[in-house]
């Protein structure tokens, strides 16, 4: 099969299209012909040698999510069958024509949802849902502050918060993206200028009013996050785009009886990933996957993954970069299901 392999830890220049062995499923695993995957920040870091794959995942093939068609089932499979349309998170390996995954992590893609769109859902959906709802306690009627809201996780977080009935405040550093954020569900948009987040929070009258903060920027925003938090609020850190080390006013954290929590998804155990996936996909089923449709900024074929990575590194976009591996009709034809 064709796959993208990290040949050198030099970023996009170190990625190459190679021929690789097709995986074989065991026990409760399935092998899936990939239709679409998407670029994640973790893929960029892995290509630089800064984020190695967890045990059991391919060491040199990036890719943390996919949508496709089941082509083979292990002997212990109980739920999925050959021909099922599925999507899931994986520890790595989805930048390829076929990927192996435990069936318990997979969700069935509903008939009305295109696999080309579904491939950009799992990682952002599961990560954002786990951070906002499971860790951050976000619920209907509460208020959330979503940072880096134009990113893949940020846009999905806005969608999730809107779908569950929360009041959504989104931040961006580019005023020209404000209208796009409102269009996907943000009730209010804070444009963060040179004065910084804390000043923007005070100016907007948001101080002490936010129940949950989704932190993707890192150190420069922590003081502003604390200022925005309501009593017993939560800051959940899922990314540090700017800087990972911050000075924290612990006295404010104590006075507000607040929580500052970090989380990652990729390195968790299988059972934890199953639980997180089930919770996120249950919400998607309840509100309808169309309500949580990913925002796609650009698409590239598998052989142009290096360009896709460069597009993400360049920034300035709203949403995600998808990778098209093979059209669904072609996959079904090769599986004899045309």
- Give dist(CA 164, CA 154) in Å, integer: 16
For the chain, give percent helix, strand, coil, nearest 5.
35, 25, 40
The string of pLDDT tens digits covering residues 26-41 is: 999 999 999 999 999 9
Q: Is the pTM higher than 0.85?
A: yes
pLDDT of residue 327: 93
pLDDT of residue 192: 96
The string of pLDDT tens digits covering residues 128-173 is: 999 999 999 999 999 999 999 999 999 999 999 999 999 999 999 9
**DSSP line for 100-137:** EEEGGG-EEPPTTS-HHHHTTSHHHHHHHHIIIIIIT-
pLDDT of residue 338: 58
Tell me the mean pLDDT in the region 189-208.
96
- The DSSP bridge partners found for residue 36 are 67, 324
65 and 128 in contact (C-beta within 8 Å)?
A: no
Q: Using 50, 70 and 90 to split pLDDT, how confident is the model at 242?
A: confident
Q: Is the pLDDT of residue 210 over 90?
A: yes
The string of pLDDT tens digits covering residues 313-330 is: 999 999 999 999 999 998
Tell me the mean pLDDT in the region 108-123.
97
Domain 128-262 in CATH 3.90.180.10: yes
pLDDT of residue 337: 78
Tell me the mean pLDDT in the region 71-87.
97
What percentage of the chain exceeds 70 in pLDDT? 100
Tell me the mean pLDDT in the region 204-222.
96
Q: List, in sequence order, the alpha helices (H) in the chain.
A: 41-47, 115-118, 122-129, 152-163, 178-183, 197-203, 222-228, 250-255, 270-287, 305-314, 328-334
Q: Using 50, 70 and 90 to split pLDDT, how confident is the model at 336?
A: confident
Same fold, 2-121+294-334 and 128-262: yes
Tell me the mean pLDDT in the region 228-255.
94
Tell me the mean pLDDT in the region 99-115.
97
Q: Is the pLDDT of residue 241 over 90?
A: no
pLDDT of residue 203: 96
| Mean pLDDT score of the chain | 96
236 and 222 in contact (C-beta within 8 Å)?
A: no
The full set of domain ranges for the chain reads: 2-121+294-334, 128-262
What percentage of the chain exceeds 90 in pLDDT? 95
Say which CATH architecture domain 2-121+294-334 belongs to: Alpha-Beta Complex (3.90)
């Amino acid at each position: 099969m064709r796959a993208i392999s990290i040949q050198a830890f030099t970023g996009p220049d170190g990625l190459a299209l190679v021929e690789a062995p097709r995986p074989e499923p065991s026990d409760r695993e399935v092998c899936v012909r990939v239709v679409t995957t998407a670029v994640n920040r973790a893929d960029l870091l892995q290509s630089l040698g800064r984020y190695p794959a967890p045990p059991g995942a391919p060491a040199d093939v990036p890719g943390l999510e996919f949508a496709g068609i089941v082509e083979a089932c292990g002997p212990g499979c109980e739920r999925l069958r050959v021909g099922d349309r599925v999507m899931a998170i994986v520890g790595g390996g989805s930048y390829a024509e076929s990927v192996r995954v435990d069936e318990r992590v997979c969700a069935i893609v509903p008939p009305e949802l295109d696999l080309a769109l579904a491939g950009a859902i799992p990682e952002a959906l599961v990560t954002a849902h786990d951070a906002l709802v499971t860790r951050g306690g976000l619920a209907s009627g509460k208020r959330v502050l979503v940072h880096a809201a134009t990113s893949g996780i940020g846009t999905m977080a806005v969608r999730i918060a809107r779908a569950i009935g929360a009041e959504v405040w989104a931040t961006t550093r580019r005023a020209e993206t404000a209208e796009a954020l409102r269009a996907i569900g943000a009730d209010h948009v804070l444009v963060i200028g040179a004065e910084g987040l804390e000043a923007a929070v005070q100016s907007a009258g948001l101080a002490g009013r936010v129940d949950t903060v989704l932190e993707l920027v890192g150190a420069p925003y922590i003081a502003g996050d604390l200022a925005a938090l309501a009593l017993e609020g939560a800051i959940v850190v899922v990314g540090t785009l700017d800087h990972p080390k911050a000075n924290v006013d612990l006295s404010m954290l104590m006075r507000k009886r607040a929580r500052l929590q970090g989380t990652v998804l990729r390195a968790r155990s299988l059972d934890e990933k199953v639980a997180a996936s089930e919770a996120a996909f249950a919400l998607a089923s309840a509100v309808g996957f169309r309500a949580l449709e990913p925002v796609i900024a650009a698409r590239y074929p598998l052989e142009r993954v290096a360009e896709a990575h460069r597009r993400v590194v360049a920034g300035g976009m709203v949403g995600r970069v998808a990778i098209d591996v093979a059209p669904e009709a072609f996959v079904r034809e090769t599986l004899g299901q045309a």
